[in-house]
Amino acid sequence: MKATRIEKIETFRVDRWCLLRIWCEDGTVGIGEAGVHGWPGPTQATLHAMEPYLKGKDPSLIEHHAQLLQRSSHFMGALISGAISAIDIALWDIKGKRLGVPVYELMGGKTRDRVRCYIHAHGDSLDDLVSDALQKKAAGFTAIRFSPFSADYHLHQSFESWASDAVQRVGAVHEALAGDVDLCIELHRQMNPAESVALAARLEPFHPYFYEDPMLPDSPALMGELQARCRLPIATGERLTSIFQFQELLASGGCDFIRPDLCLCMGLSGSKKAAALAEARHVKVIPHNPLSPVSTAACVQLDACIPNFALQEYTGESDYPKRDLVKAPLRLVGGYLEVPEGPGIGIEFNDEALMRLPATDIVPNMRIGVDGSVQDW
């Protein structure tokens, strides 16, 4: 294969996503996405700060570029790892396209032909939540994620009223789905460890498949203590930015499922390493994916080649603006995404839509509790 060099990068802000395109001198183009969706503007600026290094470099040296960009300035963190993640995904896309194979073929080959997905159910009222969950079941999904908390959770004045409302919501969905669908309970870090343990005990009769983010991800040791006290399988890790953080989480026994975000945790390369760390501890992988179809496509490449895959977060790609962003989305059949056979990550931008779709301005905002304090979403 004839050598080529990176010629330029382009970045795009669409909705709350920060998207990347890397051009090579031979005309090969790779696409990626950075995952710090709360700060897409600074992430975009970080990518352009890295462009002078990338120009003229060999795109095949994926690991080398990631090591240099992460370690050269002595500063790490989400903006850096998010930008490197976008670059990593785009460089894997380039390598797959230049070799004419899907990325999973370069990472050990397929372990499965299709990827089981969970989808979100929503509804502020109990009836709306149950109705939406039933619609998702009818669409073929066998795993459904939802919050046990109503939209006014932050206004409850006692833990008992908050927890009772959560138990009612989970119980109603469990009964409506008649045991045919796995329930994925998303806590969104809205509780402290003591509250999470107490609520978990009350949710045990509904047998959740996972109990996600029961506390802030700032202490692997405390997460380990929480998992030891909690009889539900914890899923966490979507905010982690390196394999070193995953190593600490796993060493503490802090979860039964890890949730790497491919657009945050050093891309396909870093997430594959995190999956291998989890595999050694018999922990399965549920990639985090609240972003664009680029994130979804990258996740499926990972899911296809790891042996310890469990579920893939899928937020639906038939609605605006996702449906317009790519030329042909991945194929969803009965709650499963089919593993694509095309080169790279298997999708291409729709250039016309890419140029016209607007960005969403992100203004820092949090819910405020009844006592005036900041509450996590």
Mark whether 224 and 260 lie in a shared domain.
yes
* Residue 23 domain-assigned (yes or no): yes
Mark whether 160 and 290 lie in a shared domain.
yes
* Residue 368 domain-assigned (yes or no): no
Catalytic site positions: 188, 288
Q: Render each residue's pLDDT in the chain as its tens digit; 377 residues.
A: 789 999 999 999 999 999 999 999 999 999 999 999 889 999 999 999 999 999 999 999 999 999 999 998 877 889 999 999 999 999 999 999 999 999 999 999 999 999 999 999 999 899 999 999 999 999 999 999 999 998 877 777 888 888 899 999 999 999 999 888 999 999 988 889 999 999 999 999 999 999 999 999 899 999 999 999 999 999 999 999 999 999 999 999 999 999 999 999 999 999 999 999 999 999 999 999 999 999 999 999 999 999 999 999 999 999 899 999 999 999 999 999 999 999 999 999 999 999 999 998 888 888 888 888 888 77
Q: Are 290 and 313 in contact (CB under 8 A)?
A: yes
Domain stop point among 72, 104, 136: 104
CATH number, domain with residue 23: 3.30.390.10
**Structural domain count, the chain:** 2
β-pair partners for 182: 143
Closest CA relative to residue 9, chosen from 42, 41, 57: 57
* Residue 363 domain-assigned (yes or no): no
Domain stop point among 104, 119, 140: 104
Please spell the DSSP secondary structure of 22-77, one letter per residue.
EEETTS-EEEEEE--TTSHHHHHHHHHHHHHHHTTS-TT-HHHHHHHHHHSSS--S
> pTM (2 decimals)?
0.96
Mark whether 114 and 77 lie in a shared domain.
no
User: Range of 44's domain?
Assistant: 6-104
Domain stop point among 104, 135, 159: 104
Token pair for residue 47? 């990518």
β-pair partners for 333: 336
Closest CA relative to residue 119, chosen from 148, 95, 143, 88: 143
Mark whether 309 and 272 lie in a shared domain.
yes
Mark whether 85 and 110 lie in a shared domain.
no
